[in-house]
Amino acid sequence: MTDAVTWLAAPRSVAFGGYFVVLARGLSPDGLAHRLAEAVRYGDGHVVEEAGEHTGASLLELMDDEYGDPLDGLGLRLGRTGEWAYAIGYGGWQGEFEVAAGISRGGADVFLLEYEEENGKPVPPRFARFRDGRLRAACNLHLDPTWGYRGVEGDPAEAGRLEEAFAAAGLPDPGRPRDEVHHLALGVVGEFFGLSLPRRAVLAEALQAVLLEPA
């Protein structure tokens, strides 16, 4: 993979509302899309509908035409870089997905990076890794224990090593601005797991796109 993931920490790095990124090893982009359709929380199930190739802007325009407001739909742009498939969420994805351990069934290795940037609470950015049907590591990327995490959760050995990597980078640091912590924590996670996301492709290129529609 050729780019890091720290660029996601920039304001509106992907689109208005924050970012929803899933990286997977052991799945194709289409396979990842179908598993994310299964992970939609609400309704009686969702199916994947092909939407052609789109930039982020053109997919949002399509969703505006389709639904009257992009926030009323769920879209994904899909790609592959090296051994990794990736999916980027568009539309009203905030709170719509329950990405849990089952998404990695059958030996897949799946990473979630998510930030509801416009949520006024404010909700911190979130990271989770699932492998072969198990949670391996999860934390919020402000490293703030008031948001449901006590350090890194998951497999004790892996979570412990990731906490050590955060500590080596000077985290947690309650006195540091949260945007700096977000950027630094993404860097630690990216380096620890060898993650990155091709910024130019995500921001400028037309990629395979799908809509997730109620079944």
- Angstrom CA distances, 16 to 35, 49, 57, 60, 117, stand at 24, 23, 11, 11, 8
Angle subtended at Cα 52 by Cα 199 and Cα 44, rounded to the nearest 5 degrees? 95
**Crossing angle of the two packed helices 156-168 and 178-193, in degrees rounded to 10:** 130
**DSSP-assigned states of every residue in 100-111:** -GGGGGGG-EEE
Q: What are 201-211's pLDDT values in tens digits?
A: 999 999 999 99
Nearest CA to 1 out of 22, 19, 23 is that of: 23
> How many Å apart are CA 43 and CA 132, to the nearest integer?
26
pLDDT tens profile 90-118: 999 999 999 999 999 999 999 999 999 98
8-state DSSP, 7: G
Mean pLDDT of the region 16-34 = 96
The per-residue pLDDT for 122 is 82
**Dist. CA 87–CA 113, nearest whole Å:** 11
Kindly report the pTM of this predicted structure: 0.95
Q: Which two tokens stand for residue 54?
A: 């789109």
Mean pLDDT of 151-162: 95
Q: Which residues pair with 18 in a beta bridge?
A: 15, 116
Pairing of strands 46-54, 109-116: unpaired
What whole-number distance in Å separates Cα of residue 136 and Cα of residue 100?
11
> How high is the mean pLDDT of the chain?
94
